[in-house]
């Protein structure tokens, strides 16, 4: 109850402050959009389906890109974790590569894939692949060895050993890395979409800029935040909670 | 070899049950488990031939963990291995399970060299290694699934083995919801469900309270009598070894060698508090104490780190 009250009061205050500042008209509305202007923009965007289309296009891209990242990252991470040579060589490279913003790959992606959806996907993958790989590597190392031994002892080997034992055993250790990978994928996607006109939320945002329509810009920003929050707060939290329940773990954070 | 002669009950109920599928069925087992005479003349089930194992310590020196171990285990025998901690008895089980390889020597099961894990020998780890992401029933099913048994067959056998360890109603629970003794029984059911010829048990009851342990001793003895498995049971508790084993093998402290073997021919069922069990255990303990003293000397006076098994958590 108390939590809900705090939540409501905080957001009401934030909204009130925004309304007040807009109402004072210190800045012209094209520099400082008003809440109702943004509201109208949101309504109009959903009304003419342009936001729905943008969300659908962006979600499709991020799901494909992130999905590829997860699969590749798991294979890479397992490889690095189970091979001493790879660990000593690739391990350091992966960590140093992570400091590179994924949009730096954009010029190369354009050359390799042309001005196409694949260039965007490439940037998304480069954005989240490293997080997933590093998470998988850490998870594999943190995971108690007993599970692998027990699995082999019960006759599991090769792919079944990975699929039925190593993967589920490492899940609690990699879920935060998967979440981080998602966040990177989402950000990379929006950045790349802003650079390339091809539907998607990033492009709608840039269109607002080109038309000097700051209401639309803020409206799209709110959408981007909302989608990020829904996936992070609902999907990943749900997975974490389920894992904790299954494993009998006390919530860690 | 020392033999503790006791009046023998010659009627061997298990000899009347031929090998094959019938062995696994819950028969009308006798309430009193008669002593069985093991057939030592035939081919051994498990034989260790001059097993040695050495490994590099973190400081770079080679340490001999097991030294020239020769051991033959007859089919259906309940063999207990005792020794001070650090004698490599757990490692020995890992070698038989095929999880590690000996530096020299051979492990043979049914005259075939062991070079990888196989479902004919199932190890019950000291830490159990139950899968926390699976329910009790799914844990028991796991080995059968890996063996490629059909869903119906798996379900039927899971029911059967859960009943055998009295856990039928916990089929849908997660393992963290169970007590220590119950988890122990899940591990036992999971191991039995793959229907191995040889069951390897690594100090399975060490962490349990006395009452639970007594109960599990009875259950294990009953299951062993009913299923006719060969069991190799590692413990540091000599009384437990005498309570359960047909034979007790005493290993020396680092490197592990077979110091002495004791034939236990006390009638079954036995109990931990039986005078005969206590007497026999006392004699073995006398020999064991020498080894324990040696181990204490090394660990406390020489400042040598406790024994570390490669790839195995202590």
Express each pLDDT in B248-282 by its tens digit: 888 888 788 887 887 888 777 888 888 888 888 88
CA A126/CA A212 separation, integer angstroms: 32
- Rg value, chain A, Cα: 22
Structure tokens given for B210: 């006395």
**pLDDT over threshold 90, residue A64:** yes
Contacts of residue A167 in chain B, CB cutoff 8 Å?
A: none
| Nearest partner of B167 among B154, B178, B156, B152, judged by Cα | B178
Task: Give A253's pLDDT tier (boundaries 50, 70, 90).
Answer: very low
Q: At a CB cut-off of 8 Å and minimum separation 6, what does A22 contact?
A: A29, A32, A33, A34, A35
CB A243 within 8 A of CB A171: yes
Nearest neighbour of B125 by CB, restricted to A150, A169, A246 = A150
C-alpha B239: how far from chain center? 15
Site from B94, B126, B129, B178 to mutate, A interface, most A CB atoms within 10 angstroms: B129
Q: pTM for this one?
A: 0.72
Q: What's residue A10's pLDDT? A: 93
The CATH number of residue B274's host domain is: 3.40.50.300
Sign of CA dihedral A195, A198, A201, A206: positive
Same domain, B102 and B236: yes
pLDDT > 70 in chain B, percent: 82
Separation in Å, CA of B18 to nearest CA in chain A: 26
Half-sphere exposure of B271 (CA within 13 A, CB side): 6
Task: Give A74's pLDDT tier (boundaries 50, 70, 90).
Answer: confident
Q: What's residue A122's pLDDT? A: 92
Provide mean pLDDT across the span B4-22.
Answer: 40
Q: What b/e string do you get for B125-156 counting C-beta neighbours within 10 Å, with b at 16 or more?
A: bbbbbbbbbbbbbbbbbbbbbbbebeeeebee
Task: Give B302's pLDDT tier (boundaries 50, 70, 90).
Answer: low
Same domain, B108 and B211: yes
Same domain, B311 and B259: yes
Separation in Å, CA of A238 to nearest CA in chain B: 16
Q: Look-up: residue for tokens 């993967």? A: A167
| Nearest partner of B261 among B287, B296, B282, judged by Cα | B287
Three-state secondary structure string covering chain B: CEEECCCCCCCCCCCCCCCCHHHHCCCCCCCCCCCCCCCCCCCCCEEEEEEEEEEECCCCCEEEEEEEEEEEECCCCEEEEECCCCCCHHHHHHHHHCCCCCCEEEEEECCEECCCCCCCEEEEECCECCCCCCEHHHHHHHHHHHHCCCHHHHHHHHHHHHHHCCCHHHCCCEHHHCCHHHHHHHHHHHHHHCCCCEEEEECCCCCCCHHHHHHHHHHHHHHHHHHCCEEEEEECCHHHHHHHCCEEEEECCCCECEEEEEEECCCCCCCCCCHHHHHHHHHHHHHHHHHHHHHHHHHHHCCCCCCCCCCCCC
Same domain, B240 and B261: yes
CA A12/CA A6 separation, integer angstroms: 10
Q: Given an 8 Å threshold on Cβ–Cβ distance, is A246 in contact with B132?
A: yes
Same domain, B112 and B141: no
Same domain, B87 and B69: yes
Whether residue B275 is contained in a domain is answered as: yes
Contacts of residue B118 in chain A, CB cutoff 8 Å?
A: 155
Task: Give A198's pLDDT tier (boundaries 50, 70, 90).
Answer: confident
CB B187 within 8 A of CB B202: no
Angle at B92 (CA atoms; ends B86, B97), nearest 5 degrees: 140
Provide mean pLDDT across the span B56-80.
Answer: 83
Count of Cβ atoms closer than 10 Å to residue A163 Cβ: 11
Site from A141, A145, A149 to mutate, B interface, most B CB atoms within 10 angstroms: A149
Provide mean pLDDT across the span B47-65.
Answer: 80
Task: Give B26's pLDDT tier (boundaries 50, 70, 90).
Answer: very low
Nearest neighbour of B177 by CB, restricted to A144, A164, A248 = A248
Same domain, B259 and B241: yes
Contacts of residue A160 in chain B, CB cutoff 8 Å?
A: 146
pLDDT tens digit sequence for A83-101: 888 888 887 888 888 888 8
CA B312/CA B308 separation, integer angstroms: 8
Whether residue B17 is contained in a domain is answered as: no
Task: Sort strands B104-109 and B112-113 into parallel, antiparallel or unpaired.
Answer: antiparallel
* Structural domain range at position B241: 1-12+41-120+197-314
| Nearest partner of B250 among B241, B260, B235, judged by Cα | B260
Whether residue B21 is contained in a domain is answered as: no
CA B135/CA A11 separation, integer angstroms: 43
CA A217/CA A202 separation, integer angstroms: 10
Q: What's residue A13's pLDDT? A: 94
Same domain, B206 and B290: yes
Provide mean pLDDT across the span B118-123.
Answer: 85
Give me the number of domains chain B comprises: 2
Same domain, B143 and B290: no
CA B8/CA A82 separation, integer angstroms: 55
Query: Which residue, B145, B163, B195, sits at the end of a domain?
Result: B195
Q: Look-up: residue for tokens 């904790």? A: A244
Q: What's residue B303's pLDDT? A: 52
Q: Pick the more confident residue, B293 or B36.
A: B293
Spell out which chain A residues touch chain B, with contact meaning CB-CB distance below 8 angstroms.
Answer: 144-147, 149-157, 160, 164-165, 168-169, 171, 243, 246-248
Same domain, B205 and B299: yes
The DSSP code for A236 is I
Q: Given an 8 Å threshold on Cβ–Cβ distance, is A154 in contact with B177?
A: no
Same domain, B104 and B210: yes
Whether residue B127 is contained in a domain is answered as: no
CA B85/CA B65 separation, integer angstroms: 12
Provide mean pLDDT across the span B226-237.
Answer: 87
Separation in Å, CA of A137 to nearest CA in chain B: 18
Separation in Å, CA of A153 to nearest CA in chain B: 5
Task: Give B6's pLDDT tier (boundaries 50, 70, 90).
Answer: very low
Q: What's residue A65's pLDDT? A: 93
| Nearest partner of A130 among A84, A181, A190, judged by Cα | A181
Whether residue B33 is contained in a domain is answered as: no
Q: What's residue B257's pLDDT? A: 80
Nearest neighbour of B127 by CB, restricted to A146, A155, A157 = A146
Residue of A nearest to B190 (CA): A154
Whether residue B293 is contained in a domain is answered as: yes
| Nearest partner of B66 among B94, B47, B38, judged by Cα | B94
Provide mean pLDDT across the span B148-163.
Answer: 88
Q: What's residue A124's pLDDT? A: 92
Same domain, B257 and B230: yes
Residue B29's Cβ-count burial label (10 Å; 0-12, 13-18, 19+) is middle
Provide mean pLDDT across the span A51-58.
Answer: 90
Task: Give A12's pLDDT tier (boundaries 50, 70, 90).
Answer: very high
CA B185/CA B233 separation, integer angstroms: 15
pLDDT tens digit sequence for B171-196: 888 888 888 888 888 998 898 888 88
C-alpha distance across the termini of chain B, in Å? 32
Provide mean pLDDT across the span B227-241.
Answer: 87
Residue of A nearest to B173 (CA): A246
pLDDT tens digit sequence for A98-156: 888 888 888 899 899 888 888 999 999 998 998 888 888 888 888 888 898 899 888 88
Alpha-carbon torsion angle B142, B147, B151, B152, nearest 10: -110
**pLDDT over threshold 90, residue B37:** no
The DSSP code for A27 is S
Whether residue B20 is contained in a domain is answered as: no
Q: What b/e string do you get for A128-141 counting C-beta neighbours within 10 Å, with b at 16 or more?
A: bbbbbbbbbbbbbe
Query: Which residue, B166, B195, B224, sits at the end of a domain?
Result: B195
Q: Given an 8 Å threshold on Cβ–Cβ distance, is A154 in contact with B176?
A: no
CB B97 within 8 A of CB B121: yes
Query: Which residue, B141, B161, B195, sits at the end of a domain?
Result: B195
Contacts of residue B142 in chain A, CB cutoff 8 Å?
A: 151, 154, 156, 164
Whether residue B35 is contained in a domain is answered as: no
């Amino acid at each position: 109850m108390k939590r809900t009250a705090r939540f409501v009061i905080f957001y009401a205050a934030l909204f009130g402050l925004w309304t007040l500042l807009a109402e004072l008209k210190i800045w012209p509305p094209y520099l400082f959009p008003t809440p109702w202007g943004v509201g109208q923009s949101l309504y109009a965007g959903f009304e003419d389906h342009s936001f729905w289309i943008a969300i659908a296009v962006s979600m499709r891209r991020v799901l494909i890109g992130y999905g590829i990242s997860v699969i590749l990252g798991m294979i890479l991470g397992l490889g690095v974790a189970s091979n001493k040579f790879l660990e000593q060589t690739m391990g350091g490279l992966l960590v140093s590569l992570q400091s590179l913003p994924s949009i730096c790959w954009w010029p190369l992606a354009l050359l390799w894939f042309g001005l196409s959806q694949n260039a965007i996907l490439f940037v998304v993958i480069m954005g989240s692949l490293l997080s997933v790989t590093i998470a998988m590597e850490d998870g594999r190392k943190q995971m108690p060895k007993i599970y692998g031994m027990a699995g082999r002892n019960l006759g599991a080997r090769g792919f079944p050993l990975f699929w039925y034992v190593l993967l589920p055993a490492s899940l609690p250790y990699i879920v935060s890395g998967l979440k981080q990978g998602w966040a990177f994928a989402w950000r990379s996607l929006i950045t790349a979409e802003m650079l390339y006109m091809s539907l998607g939320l990033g492009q709608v945002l840039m269109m607002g800029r080109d038309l000097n329509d700051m209401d639309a810009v803020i409206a799209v920003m709110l959408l981007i935040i909302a989608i990020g929050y829904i996936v992070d707060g609902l999907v990943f939290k749900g997975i974490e909670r389920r894992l904790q329940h299954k494993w009998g773990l006390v919530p860690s954070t | 070899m020392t033999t503790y002669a006791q009046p023998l009950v010659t009627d061997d109920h298990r000899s009347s049950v031929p090998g094959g599928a019938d062995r696994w069925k819950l028969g009308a087992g006798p309430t009193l488990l008669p002593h069985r005479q093991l057939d030592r003349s035939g081919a051994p089930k498990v034989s260790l031939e001059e097993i040695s194992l050495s490994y590099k310590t973190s400081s770079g020196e080679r340490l001999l963990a097991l030294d020239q171990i020769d051991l033959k285990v007859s089919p259906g025998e309940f063999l207990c291995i005792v020794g001070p901690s650090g004698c490599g008895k757990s490692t020995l089980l890992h070698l038989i399970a095929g999880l590690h390889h000996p530096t020299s020597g051979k492990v043979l099961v049914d005259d075939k060299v062991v070079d990888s894990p196989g479902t004919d020998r199932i190890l019950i780890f000291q830490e159990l290694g139950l899968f926390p992401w699976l329910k009790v029933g799914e844990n028991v099913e796991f080995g059968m699934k890996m063996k490629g048994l059909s869903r119906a067959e798996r379900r039927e056998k899971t029911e059967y083995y859960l009943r055998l360890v009295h856990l039928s109603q916990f089929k849908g629970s997660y393992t963290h919801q169970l007590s220590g003794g119950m988890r122990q029984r899940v591990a036992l059911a999971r191991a039995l469900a793959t229907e191995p010829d040889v069951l390897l048990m690594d100090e399975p009851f060490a962490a349990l309270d006395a009452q639970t342990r007594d109960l599990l001793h009875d259950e294990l003895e009953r299951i062993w009598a009913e299923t006719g498995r060969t069991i190799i049971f590692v413990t540091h508790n000599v009384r437990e070894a005498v309570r359960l084993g047909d034979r007790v093998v005493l290993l020396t402290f680092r490197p592990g060698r077979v110091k002495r073997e004791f034939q236990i021919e006390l009638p079954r069922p036995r109990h931990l508090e039986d005078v005969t069990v206590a007497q026999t255990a006392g004699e073995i303990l006398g020999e064991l104490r020498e080894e324990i003293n040696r181990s204490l000397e090394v660990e406390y006076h020489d400042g040598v780190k406790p024994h570390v098994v490669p790839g195995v958590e202590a």
